C-alpha cells in the first residue's frame, strides 16, 4: 500500500472510488480529460503526508505554522464531509479539532464577566443559578448587589437601576450592558450560549426581545416573589495564582511513566534489532493508539472493484441498496445493511473474479430482499428478484503516475434470478 501513498496515486483513486466518493463520476471525467488534475490530486496526497508528520512540531512552533496545521485539517475535514462517504466521522472531526486547538475565545477563564444582580429577587436568583450551570469555563464573577454597593458606585451604576436590571461588565474590555443587552453580552461570553446569540440579536432588531424582557422585568416581584434572605451562589472561581502544576498529582505522574515504560518494553523496533515480546509484539503499538497510518489503504480502494444490484421483478424496480454504478442508495441509511451486508460483500470478495451469488444467497441477499419488501409493505408470499454482479478493476498504477487516468470498462460478471419467501 505504501506505493499508493508515496506515488500519490491514492489521491485520484480515492476521489474516483464509487464506494467512497460522492462525486466520483465528476472526478472520473475530470481526470480522464486533464493530466494536470491528476497531478494535483497526487500532490494533495504528498501534502497530506507532509501534514501528518508535522502536526506536532508545527503546533508547538505556533504562529503561521500552527495556522497551517489547523487550516489544512479543516480543509481535509470539509473534503471528508462533502465528498467522501465516511458516515459520522467528519462531524466527529469538526468537534475534535476545536477541542484540541481552540483555547482562547469563550474558553479563557482570565477574561471574566462581572454580573451584578438583585440577590433578593427570586427570578434573579433562579437566573443566576442557570448562568452558573452554563458557565462551564468559569468566566462569570457573581456580584450580589447587597455585597457590592461600593463597587456599583465606582462603575457609575445606580443602585436602583441595578435592582431593576442585570448588569454585566467585561473586566478585560470594560464593555458593559444591562437589561436585554446584558443577555446579548452574556451569550457572547459563555460558550454554551453562543448558538442563542444570533437569535437574541434578531429579536432585538425586531424589538420583540427588549419588549418581552421589559414586560417580565417590571413585574418580576409580582410574578415570582422575593427572597427574605439572599441565597449564597456557588460559582466556578479560579484560585489566585493557580497553575497547571496543581493538577500534576504524583499518582498521575507515576501512571504516565508506567504506561510509557510498558510501551517501550512491548514496542517492536526491528530496524535496530528489537523485536519485543513474542506473544504480544505484533499488536503492542495498537494497545496504545500508536501505529503506522493506514487510512485509505489498498483494501479501502479495492472496495470499488466488485458490487451487485438487486432488481425486484415483482415490483419492476431497482432495490435501493447499490446502484448500477456501485454507489450506495437509500437502504444504506441502516448500519445493518451497510456494515452487516454490503461492506462485508465488498471486503471478502476483493481480488476475486467469479460469481458470488451462491456464497451470498443465504448471507445477504435473502435479508436484503426481505428488508425491501418490508419497506414496500408487501403481503406474505414469494417474490422474484434478479441479482446482477459487476466488476471494474482499478485503473493502472503506472498510467496514473504519468498523469494518465484511464478507467477500465465496467463488466457484468453474472445475472441470476432467485426467489425470496416473505412473511409479514
pLDDT category at 241 given cuts 50, 70, 90 is very low
As annotated, the residues of the chain forming the CATH 3.40.30 domain(s) are 113-224
Which residues neighbour 305 within 8 Å (Cβ) at sequence distance 6 or greater?
Answer: 350, 351, 391, 392, 393, 394
Query: What's the CA gap between 361 and 372, in Å, rounded?
Result: 15
| Contact in structure between 268 and 281 (CB atoms under 8 Å) | yes
Please state the φ and ψ torsions of residue 417, each to the nearest 5 degrees: -90, 140
Cell of 77: 475535514
Which residues neighbour 272 within 8 Å (Cβ) at sequence distance 6 or greater?
Answer: none
Q: With pLDDT > 90 as the criterion, what percentage of the chain qualifies?
A: 18
- Of 310, 424, 307, which Cα lies nearest the Cα of 373? 424
Q: What CATH fold (topology level) applies to the domain 113-224?
A: Glutaredoxin (3.40.30)
pLDDT of residue 323: 92
What's the average model confidence in pLDDT over 132-159?
81
pLDDT category at 117 given cuts 50, 70, 90 is confident
pLDDT of residue 322: 92
- 3 state DSSP class of 167: strand
Instruction: State the number of CA atoms in the 13 A half-sphere of 316 facing the CB.
Output: 0
Cell of 15: 476521489
Cα distances (Å, whole numbers) of residue 138 to 111, 191, 192, 268 = 10, 11, 12, 45
- H/E stretch holding 216 reads helix 208-218
- Of 162, 161, 166, which Cα lies nearest the Cα of 124? 166
Query: What's the CA gap between 392 and 410, in Å, rounded?
Result: 5
Q: Which has more pLDDT, 378 or 215?
A: 378
What's the average model confidence in pLDDT over 395-402?
87
| Contact in structure between 422 and 378 (CB atoms under 8 Å) | yes
pLDDT 10s digits, 374-391? 999 999 999 999 999 999
pTM attached to this predicted model: 0.58
* Strand 167-170 relative to strand 113-117, pairing: antiparallel
Q: Which has more pLDDT, 378 or 172?
A: 378
Cα distances (Å, whole numbers) of residue 289 to 283, 293, 396 = 10, 11, 34
- E-only strand ranges, 55-121: 113-117
What's the average model confidence in pLDDT over 105-123?
71
Q: Which has more pLDDT, 345 or 112?
A: 345
pLDDT category at 19 given cuts 50, 70, 90 is confident
- Of 65, 18, 103, 26, which Cα lies nearest the Cα of 342? 18
pLDDT of residue 293: 59
Q: Is the pLDDT of residue 109 over 70?
A: no
Query: What's the CA gap between 178 and 281, in Å, rounded?
Result: 64
Cβ count near 268 (within 10 Å): 16
Lowest-confidence range among 117-131, 201-215, 273-287? 273-287
Rg (CA), the chain: 31
Amino acid at each position: 500500500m505504501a506505493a499508493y501513498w508515496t506515488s500519490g496515486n491514492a489521491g485520484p483513486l480515492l476521489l474516483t472510488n464509487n464506494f467512497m466518493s460522492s462525486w466520483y463520476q465528476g472526478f472520473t471525467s475530470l481526470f480522464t480529460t486533464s493530466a494536470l488534475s491528476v497531478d494535483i490530486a497526487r500532490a494533495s496526497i504528498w501534502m497530506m503526508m507532509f501534514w501528518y508528520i508535522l502536526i506536532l512540531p508545527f503546533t508547538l512552533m505556533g504562529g503561521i505554522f500552527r495556522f497551517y496545521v489547523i487550516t489544512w485539517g479543516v480543509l481535509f475535514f470539509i473534503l471528508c464531509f462533502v465528498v467522501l462517504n465516511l458516515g459520522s466521522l467528519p462531524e466527529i472531526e469538526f468537534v475534535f479539532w476545536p477541542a484540541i486547538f481552540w483555547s482562547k475565545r469563550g474558553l479563557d477563564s482570565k477574561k471574566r464577566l462581572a454580573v451584578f444582580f438583585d440577590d433578593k429577587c427570586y427570578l434573579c436568583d433562579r437566573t443566576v443559578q442557570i448562568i452558573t450551570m452554563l458557565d462551564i469555563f468559569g468566566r462569570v464573577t457573581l456580584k450580589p448587589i447587597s455585597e457590592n454597593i461600593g463597587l456599583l458606585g465606582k462603575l457609575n451604576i445606580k443602585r436602583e437601576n441595578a435592582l431593576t436590571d442585570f448588569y454585566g461588565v467585561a473586566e478585560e474590555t470594560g464593555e458593559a450592558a444591562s437589561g436585554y443587552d446584558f443577555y446579548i453580552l452574556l451569550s457572547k461570553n459563555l460558550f454554551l450560549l453562543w448558538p442563542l446569540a444570533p437569535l437574541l440579536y434578531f429579536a432585538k432588531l425586531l424589538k420583540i426581545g427588549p419588549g418581552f424582557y421589559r414586560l417580565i422585568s417590571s413585574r418580576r416581584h409580582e410574578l415570582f416573589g422575593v427572597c427574605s434572605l439572599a441565597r449564597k451562589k456557588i460559582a466556578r472561581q479560579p484560585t489566585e495564582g493557580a497553575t497547571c502544576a496543581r493538577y500534576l498529582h504524583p499518582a498521575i505522574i507515576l501512571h504516565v511513566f508506567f504506561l510509557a515504560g510498558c510501551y517501550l518494553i512491548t514496542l517492536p523496533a526491528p530496524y535496530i534489532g528489537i523485536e519485543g515480546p513474542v506473544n504480544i509484539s505484533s499488536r503492542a503499538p495498537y494497545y496504545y493508539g500508536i501505529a503506522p497510518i493506514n487510512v485509505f489503504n489498498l483494501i479501502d480502494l479495492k472496495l470499488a472493484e466488485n458490487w451487485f444490484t438487486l432488481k425486484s421483478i415483482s415490483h419492476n424496480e431497482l432495490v435501493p441498496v447499490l446502484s448500477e454504478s456501485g454507489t450506495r442508495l437509500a437502504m444504506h441509511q441502516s448500519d445493518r445493511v451497510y456494515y452487516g451486508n454490503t461492506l462485508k460483500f465488498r471486503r471478502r470478495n476483493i481480488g476475486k473474479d467469479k460469481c458470488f451469488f451462491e456464497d451470498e444467497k443465504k448471507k445477504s441477499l435473502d435479508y436484503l430482499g426481505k428488508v425491501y419488501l418490508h419497506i414496500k409493505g408487501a403481503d406474505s408470499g414469494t417474490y422474484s428478484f434478479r441479482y446482477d454482479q459487476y466488476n471494474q478493476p482499478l485503473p493502472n498504477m503506472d498510467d496514473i503516475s504519468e498523469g494518465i487516468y484511464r478507467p477500465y470498462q465496467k463488466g457484468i460478471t453474472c445475472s441470476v434470478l432467485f426467489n425470496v419467501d416473505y412473511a409479514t
